[in-house]
Amino acid sequence: MRPEPGGASDALLDRARAGDARAFEQLALEIERPLYRHAARMLGHDDAEDCVQDALLSAWKSMASFEGTSFRAWVFRIVTNRALDRLRSRKRHPELPLDPPAENDDSASWAEPVATGHELADLAADREALRVVEDALANIPADQRAALLLRDVEGFAYEEIATITSTEIGTVKSRIHRGRLAVRNILISRGWKGSTG
Amino acid sequence: MHPFGDLSAYLDGALSSEARASVQAHLDTCALCRTRLAELRGTAQLIAKLPMPVPSRSLVPRVAVPFWLAPLRTFSTFASGAAIFLFLALAVLSSFPLAQSAGTAAAPAAAPAASQPSAFAVSGTPAAQSSPDISLSAPSVAPVVSDNRGAARASATPSDAAKEVGRRDQSGSSSNNVAADQPRLQAAAPQPAPFAFLLSPWLWLVVAVAFGALSIIVGRRLRST
């Protein structure tokens, strides 16, 4: 969906590996906004900037040891891990919100749409609907949210998401499906009847 | 049995060819699964269309910039501010010593003017005769002071004053007196302090401008990277 940049970025990657700071900065600039988008949806806007900046600095420090081919996937892995670490740290503080209850994890529960409502396909242009989707994403478990965002927003393949989140492909498949289903159910609960496809 | 758990992977093209064929065969005959698949597709499309948040600042660490550049900008900014402060402070303070020195210089200059008429009155010499002394001693303060001392002594005892004026009149060329006074003047002149130039406000203005320019240049360099 969003392929790794081409030959020019490969050359930049080689230069960055060799310690060229400007090459690294150019590579980082290309993915700065997607990284922030991902972190902001994982953590909220307040922590997202620090998370991305820390991750990019960490990437620069470890650049010489990077042996993969996808700089983008590698940095997304760092950002995702840091975001999940921060979320775990929040969970240790009782005043901060926890992940939602496990009932959203039930992939077998398909909420039935009410009789009157909008079709999902009509919602894309509706700002209110997008706000509902954002709320829904914020209320699903963090590991599902990470997998869903990496797939539906960033366009990573399941294999890449497995690498980024350090899990098996089967786990990625399950998380994405449960996450989508949870968001779908929240939308249905807000009155939309879903698409008849 | 409905393959609900595989619908998302089917949607994303993440199933093996056998599993994909199996799901496809089921979808051909199951309206409910087609509906669920459409709902999941619509959900994925909504998630993909979420607006992109924009960071409030650049998040790329400036690793290409020498580590000392940012501290240098901070230092030069503060140094420029401090130099401006010193410039203003010294400019204000320097106005007071000028007023004081002007006052102290005016006092001795006024003293001979007040005391000389008494000396002239004692000797009875017309004022025009003593004008060479006055005109020669006028350029510097020290001769005026020495004349003042002489005048003070003269005013103390009128006869001594007459002798003093007489010696002056007999001494011939007054340029000899000035020549004799020169070494004393040079010895009495205060030596400038070695770091007196630091008290010049203009020096600090130059320093402020220099550090300000450095701060701007470094700031541009930081922004350009």
pLDDT for A74-129, tens place per residue?
A: 999 999 999 999 998 887 665 444 444 444 444 457 776 655 556 655 555 577 77
Q: Which of A91, A123, A158 is the last residue of a domain?
A: A91
pLDDT digits (tens, 9 = 90+) for B116-125: 444 444 444 4
Give the distance from residue A124's alpha carbon to the nearest chain B alpha carbon, in angstroms.
6
**A40 neighbourhood in chain B, CB within 8 Å:** 53
Cβ proximity of B42 and A119 under 8 Å = yes
Which residues, 6 or more positions from A117, have their beta carbon under 8 angstroms from its beta carbon?
Answer: A191, A192, A193
Confidence of residue B195 (pLDDT cuts 50, 70, 90): confident
Separation of alpha carbons A149 and A174, rounded Å: 14
Give the distance from residue A8's alpha carbon to the nearest chain B alpha carbon, in angstroms.
19
DSSP assignment of chain B: ---HHHHHHHHHT-S-HHHHHHHHHHHHH-HHHHHHHHHHHHHHHHHHTSPPP--SS--S--TTS-TTHHHHHHHHHHHHHHHHHHHHHHHHHHHHHHHHHHHHHHHHHHHHHHHHHHHHHHHT--TTTTHHHHHHHTTSHHHHHHHHHHHHHHHH-HHHHHHHHHHHHHT--HHHHHHHHHHHHHHHSPPPPTTGGGG-HHHHHHHHHHHHHHHHHHHHHHHH-
Specify whether A169 is located in the same domain as A119.
yes
pLDDT digits (tens, 9 = 90+) for A40-56: 999 988 899 999 999 99
The pLDDT of residue B204 is 92
The pLDDT of residue B127 is 42
Site of tokens 């003047």: B185
CB contact under 8 A, A129 and B53: no
Specify whether A83 is located in the same domain as A114.
no
Q: Above 70 in pLDDT, residue B160?
A: no
Buried b (16+ CB within 10 A) or exposed e, A34-67: bbbbbbbbbbeeebbbebbbbbbbbbbeebeeee
Closest chain B CA to residue A35:
B59
| Domain extent for B170 | 69-183+198-224
Q: What is the ipTM of this complex?
A: 0.83
Q: Is residue A1 domain-resident?
A: no
Q: Above 70 in pLDDT, residue A155?
A: yes
Separation of alpha carbons A160 and A76, rounded Å: 10
Interhelix angle B174-188/B141-156, rounded to 10 degrees, is 110
Separation of alpha carbons B103 and B106, rounded Å: 5
Q: Is residue B76 domain-resident?
A: yes
Alpha-carbon dihedral angle through residues A131, A136, A137, A139, given to the nearest 10 degrees: 130
Specify whether A168 is located in the same domain as A106.
yes
Candidate from A7-21, A70-84, A109-123, B84-98 with smallest mean pLDDT = A109-123
CB contact under 8 A, B53 and A187: no
| Interface A:B, Cβ pairs < 8 A | 140
- Number of domain units in chain A: 2
Q: Above 60 in pLDDT, residue A60?
A: yes
Percent of chain B at pLDDT above 90? 32
CA–CA distances in Å: residue B3 to residues A64, A165, B153, B189: 45, 25, 127, 107
Specify whether A84 is located in the same domain as A28.
yes
**A158 neighbourhood in chain B, CB within 8 Å:** 9, 12, 14
Q: Is residue B61 domain-resident?
A: no
Percent of chain B at pLDDT above 70? 56
Specify whether A173 is located in the same domain as A115.
yes
DSSP state of A62: T
Domain with A164 in it: what CATH number? 1.10.10.10
Rg, Å, chain A Cα set? 18
CB contact under 8 A, B50 and A134: yes
Confidence of residue B170 (pLDDT cuts 50, 70, 90): low
**B62 neighbourhood in chain A, CB within 8 Å:** 25
Q: Mean pLDDT across the stretch B50-77? A: 85
Specify whether B122 is located in the same domain as B93.
yes
Q: Is residue B12 domain-resident?
A: yes
Q: Is residue B169 domain-resident?
A: yes
CB contact under 8 A, B12 and A177: no
Candidate from A84-93, B3-12, B65-74, B191-200 with smallest mean pLDDT = B191-200
Give the distance from residue A86's alpha carbon to the nearest chain B alpha carbon, in angstroms.
18
**A60 neighbourhood in chain B, CB within 8 Å:** 61, 63
Q: Which of A71, A91, A111 is the last residue of a domain?
A: A91
Closest chain B CA to residue A44:
B53
| Domain extent for A181 | 102-189
Separation of alpha carbons B49 and B41, rounded Å: 12
Site of tokens 């392929």: A3
Q: Is residue A195 domain-resident?
A: no
Specify whether B154 is located in the same domain as B216.
yes
Neighbours of B122 (CB within 10 A): 19
Specify whether A80 is located in the same domain as A123.
no
Specify whether A119 is located in the same domain as A72.
no
Of A27, A122, A126, A195, which to mutate for an interface test with B (greatest number of B Cβ within 10 Å)?
A: A195
Specify whether B42 is located in the same domain as B74.
no
Site of tokens 């103390």: B156
Specify whether A179 is located in the same domain as A109.
yes
Q: Is residue A97 domain-resident?
A: no
Separation of alpha carbons A48 and A36, rounded Å: 6
Specify whether B101 is located in the same domain as B134.
yes
Q: Above 90 in pLDDT, residue B132?
A: no
Q: Which of B5, B34, B39 sits opposite A184 (nearest CB)?
A: B39
Specify whether A59 is located in the same domain as A80.
yes
pTM > 0.80: no
Specify whether B78 is located in the same domain as B143.
yes
Q: Mean pLDDT across the stretch B22-43? A: 93
Specify whether A81 is located in the same domain as A138.
no
CB contact under 8 A, A32 and B58: yes
Specify whether B44 is located in the same domain as B83.
no
Domain with A44 in it: what CATH number? 1.10.1740.10
Q: Mean pLDDT across the stretch A170-180? A: 95
Closest chain A CA to residue B39:
A195
Q: Is residue A108 domain-resident?
A: yes
Confidence of residue B172 (pLDDT cuts 50, 70, 90): very low
Cβ proximity of A79 and B83 under 8 Å = no
Give the distance from residue A37's alpha carbon to the nearest chain B alpha carbon, in angstroms.
6
Q: Above 90 in pLDDT, residue A67?
A: no
Q: Mean pLDDT across the stretch A130-135? A: 88
- Number of domain units in chain B: 2
The pLDDT of residue B194 is 73
Closest chain B CA to residue A61:
B63
The pLDDT of residue A109 is 75
